[in-house]
């Protein structure tokens, strides 16, 4: 969705002069109303003000982007205002804001996030901001944005004739387990590298909102090769017979030019699809451990929506009962009817968490036949079915789900190979009868046999953590905090996060608190450093620094990746120490968190929230100071 498509001349004001933040908001809302897509002005204003109470939407560098989703919005739209004299919008950097955009989005979908991300991408260019501020007319203002979008997103405006004649030399697919940060950072890095090298490239992103900029059959036929920078399984059958490089999504961020050069020079193997999702690339050179990690991340990425949404519903139930003054006993979260509603629905979502994890691990390994086996195996792990108590006895939980997903997936691969010897006339009934029937019987026997042992291990680990002394818990908090920071979205980070979300289901709310605060520290520490120790960073790093305040407060650790990639030896240890301190202090202060995600927006359900803020501030400041000590001054200021 292009910015210029959301702007109308009626919703633009040049050379505005609001005296206060409140006046600026009113002026922008009036512009939105003039744009014709606000049905109820008062209701929309409530949404804008509610968002501002969570923290100012002024992100620094003179930019403010207030936004709200509301039932009063009939269609997505933008309002824009330039304020040459600036207005105090309570910006993170303390400077006045002179370039204001207001986003209006309907309740269905996440168009406001897409528009917000797009705006932030183009507004990071200082020359672009200067052109907007100096625009003499609304037409010129729109033209400046239009030209920037054409430059920044060339694939959207490339003419059909040019596409037909020239096509793209290189194609790419980017995907990460959560589909939030790594996916788009890798895509942008590859597009920038292609432009720099003079090579046409099209990148498909498999993000949390689904696949975007999808590669067409014609694209694939005409390209020199495809780069698959993904940490989860993607659809590979379409690339059969083409040259393909499969690698980690982080390589798409760190070495995009090298990947493109390997495709263009022909130094890429030809991919032959075998039908198994596990072989989702030219995987002969891919280690077994790497394959296991991708299968695991496929399960985790599909599990996260259930974890996050269900967890926040449960957290809301606790918040409602807290406000109502309900006693915090075993029935806490179910006393009031409103709390009971959220708690019940949240529990339903949570109950899908373990089966979905196992199901998608199995599917990643053995395609659709593996999905049934993994899903049922995960359900049997959740109920704890045994031969003596099929209805459930000792739940094996998270560990049992991992076992069911991997073992079930590989058993199905073996079964498929055995069935290859059957007459071809039976091929039609294999996927609808033989695979499901045999797979269900096998996984039922396996899980009923294994559940008692996995359940004992799972229970022992939970009891060990729950009965740790305070000093041991502090150490655990330090370890979890450091793990969230060491690879910022990689296997260590995801292992710590999954451990934290699993702990919520057993009442380990202090563990989840330590995990989240550890993940919030790296972007905030870097943002603080770019603000107070500017001499340590390049001009581009300083420009992008304020965005990390938002990323960190929103618990998006990946905001620190570009800085860590540029100077890993100094940035990663600094972030690790700061995150470890924050995680340890969170445990020391007995902070708890009943929601698995949300950053500062779920602080209302944080136990001992004041000291949680202290832990976050302490870790961020220590990280900032370490960066100041370890990083050398940059002479190119």
Pick the residue with more confidence: 595 or 224? 224
CA distance 2 to 467: 54
At residue 296, the pLDDT reads: 81
Predicted TM-score (pTM) of this structure: 0.51
At residue 282, the pLDDT reads: 41
Q: What percent of the chain shows pLDDT beyond 70?
A: 88
Other beta carbons within 10 Å of 75: 13
User: Is the Cβ–Cβ distance between 227 and 259 less than 8 Å?
Assistant: yes
At residue 163, the pLDDT reads: 45
Question: What mean pLDDT is predicted for residues 89-113?
Answer: 83
Question: What mean pLDDT is predicted for residues 255-266?
Answer: 89
Query: What confidence category does residue 161 fall into, taking pLDDT thresholds of 50, 70 and 90?
Result: very low
At residue 368, the pLDDT reads: 82
- pLDDT of 117 above 60: yes
At residue 89, the pLDDT reads: 92
CA distance 524 to 532: 12
Torsion angle in degrees (nearest 10) through CA of 542, 543, 546, 552: -70
- Mark whether 67 is an active-site residue: yes
Q: Where are the alpha helices (DSSP H) in 158-287?
A: 160-166, 182-197, 217-222, 249-254, 256-264
- pLDDT of 582 above 90: yes
At 315-339, the pLDDT tens digits run: 788 788 878 887 755 577 788 999 8
- pLDDT of 487 above 90: no
- pLDDT of 193 above 80: yes
User: Is the Cβ–Cβ distance between 375 and 358 less than 8 Å?
Assistant: yes
At residue 287, the pLDDT reads: 67
CA distance 9 to 142: 8
- pLDDT of 346 above 70: yes
At residue 168, the pLDDT reads: 83
At residue 26, the pLDDT reads: 94
CA dihedral for 14, 20, 24, 26, sign (positive or negative): negative
At residue 285, the pLDDT reads: 52
Could you give the angle at the alpha carbon of 309 between the alpha carbons of 303 and 312, nearest 5°? 130
Residues 6+ apart with CB under 8 A from 148: 122, 125, 128
At residue 625, the pLDDT reads: 96
Provide the β-strand partners of residue 81.
13, 100
Catalytic residue among 176, 223, 478, 575: 176
Q: Are strands 12-13 and 63-64 parallel, antiparallel or unpaired?
A: unpaired
Class of residue 127 by CB neighbours under 10 A (exposed 0-12, middle 13-18, buried 19+): exposed
Side by side, the strands of the sheet bearing 170-175 are 210-212, 201-207, 170-175, 225-230, 244-247
Q: What is the CA radius of gyration of the chain?
A: 26
At residue 567, the pLDDT reads: 81
At residue 359, the pLDDT reads: 93
At residue 372, the pLDDT reads: 92
CA dihedral for 507, 508, 510, 516, sign (positive or negative): negative
CATH 3.40.50.2300 fits 156-286, yes or no: yes
CATH 3.40.50.970 fits 3-151, yes or no: no
At 30-61, the pLDDT tens digits run: 999 998 889 899 999 999 998 888 888 888 88
At 393-421, the pLDDT tens digits run: 777 776 788 889 999 999 998 988 888 88
At 471-483, the pLDDT tens digits run: 688 999 999 999 8
- Per-residue HEC secondary structure of 53-120 comes to HCCCCEEECCEECCEEECCCECCCEEEEEEEEEEECCCCCCCCCEEEEEEEEECCCCCHHHHHHHHHH
Pick the residue with more confidence: 137 or 231? 137
Composition of the chain by helix, strand, coil, percent to 5? 65, 10, 25
At residue 479, the pLDDT reads: 92
* Tokens coding 69: 């989703």
Question: What mean pLDDT is predicted for residues 86-94?
Answer: 87
- pLDDT of 277 above 90: no
* Tokens coding 422: 């059957």
Domain boundaries along the sequence of the chain: 3-151, 156-286, 289-464, 470-630
- pLDDT of 210 above 80: no
User: Mean pLDDT over all residues of the chain?
Assistant: 83
Query: What confidence category does residue 437 fall into, taking pLDDT thresholds of 50, 70 and 90?
Result: very high
At residue 109, the pLDDT reads: 64
At 515-571, the pLDDT tens digits run: 999 999 999 999 999 999 988 887 777 887 888 888 788 787 867 877 886 788 899
Strand, helix or coil at 134? Answer: coil
CA distance 218 to 34: 43
- pLDDT of 313 above 90: no
At residue 156, the pLDDT reads: 59
Q: Do domains 3-151 and 156-286 have the same CATH topology?
A: no
- pLDDT of 291 above 80: no
């Amino acid at each position: 969705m292009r910015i210029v498509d959301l702007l109308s001349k009626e919703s633009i004001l040049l050379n505005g002069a609001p005296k206060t933040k409140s006046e600026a908001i009113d002026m922008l809302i009036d512009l939105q109303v003039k744009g014709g897509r606000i049905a109820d002005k008062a209701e929309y204003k409530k949404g804008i003000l509610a968002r501002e109470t969570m923290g100012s939407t002024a992100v620094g560098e003179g930019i403010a982007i207030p936004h709200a989703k509301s039932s009063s919005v009939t269609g997505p739209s933008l309002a824009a205002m330039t304020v040459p004299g600036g207005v105090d919008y309570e910006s993170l950097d303390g400077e006045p804001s002179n370039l204001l955009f207001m986003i209006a989005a309907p309740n269905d979908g996440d168009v406001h996030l897409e528009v917000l991300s797009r705006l932030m991408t183009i507004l990071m260019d200082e020359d672009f901001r200067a052109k907007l501020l100096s625009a003499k007319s609304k037409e010129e203002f729109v033209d400046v944005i239009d030209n920037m979008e054409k430059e920044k997103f060339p694939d959207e405006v490339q003419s059909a004739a040019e596409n037909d004649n020239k096509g793209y030399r290189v194609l790419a697919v980017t995907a990460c387990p959560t589909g939030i940060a790594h996916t788009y950072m890798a895509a942008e890095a590859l597009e920038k590298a292609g432009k720099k090298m003079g090579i046409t490239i099209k990148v498909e992103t498999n993000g949390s909102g689904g696949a975007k900029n999808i590669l067409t059959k014609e694209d694939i036929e005409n390209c020199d090769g495809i780069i698959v920078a993904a940490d989860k399984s993607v659809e590979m059958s379409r690339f059969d017979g083409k040259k393909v490089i499969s690698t980690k999504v982080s390589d798409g961020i760190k070495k995009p030019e090298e990947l493109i050069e390997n495709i263009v020079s022909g130094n890429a193997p030809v991919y032959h699809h075998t039908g198994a999702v596990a072989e989702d690339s030219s995987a002969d050179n891919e280690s077994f451990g790497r394959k296991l990690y991708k299968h695991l991340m496929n399960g985790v990425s599909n599990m996260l929506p259930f974890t996050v949404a269900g967890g926040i519903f449960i957290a809301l139930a606790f918040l409602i009962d807290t406000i109502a003054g309900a006693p915090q006993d075993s029935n806490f979260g179910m006393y009031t009817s409103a709390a009971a509603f959220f708690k019940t629905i949240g529990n339903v979502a949570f109950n899908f968490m373990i089966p979905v994890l196992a199901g998608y691990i199995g599917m990643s390994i053995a395609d659709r036949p593996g999905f049934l086996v993994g899903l049922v195996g995960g359900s049997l792990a959740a109920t704890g079915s045994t031969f003596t108590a099929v209805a459930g006895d000792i739940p094996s939980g998270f560990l049992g789900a991992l076992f069911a997903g991997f073992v079930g997936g590989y058993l199905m691969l073996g079964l498929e190979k055995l069935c290859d010897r059957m007459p071809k006339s039976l091929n039609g009934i294999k996927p609808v009868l033989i695979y499901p029937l045999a797979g269900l019987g096998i996984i039922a026997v396996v899980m009923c046999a294994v559940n008692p042992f996995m359940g004992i291990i799972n229970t022992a680990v939970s009891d060990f953590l729950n009965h740790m002394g305070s000093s041991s818990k502090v150490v655990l908090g330090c370890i979890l905090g450091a793990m969230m920071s060491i690879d910022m979205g990689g296997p260590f980070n995801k292992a710590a996060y999954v451990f934290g979300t699993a702990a919520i289901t057993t009442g380990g709310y202090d563990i989840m608190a330590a995990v989240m605060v550890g993940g919030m520290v790296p972007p905030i520490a870097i943002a603080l450093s770019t603000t107070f120790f500017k001499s340590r960073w390049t001009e581009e790093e300083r420009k992008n620094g304020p965005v990390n305040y938002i990323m960190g407060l929103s618990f998006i650790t990946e905001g620190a990746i570009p800085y860590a990639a540029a100077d890993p030896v100094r940035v990663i240890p600094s972030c690790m120490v700061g995150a470890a301190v924050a995680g340890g202090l969170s445990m020391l202060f007995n902070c708890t968190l009943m929601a698995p995600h949300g950053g500062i927006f779920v602080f209302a359900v944080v136990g001992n929230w004041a000291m949680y803020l202290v832990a976050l501030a302490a870790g961020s400041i220590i990280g900032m100071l370490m960066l100041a000590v370890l990083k050398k001054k940059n002479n190119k200021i």
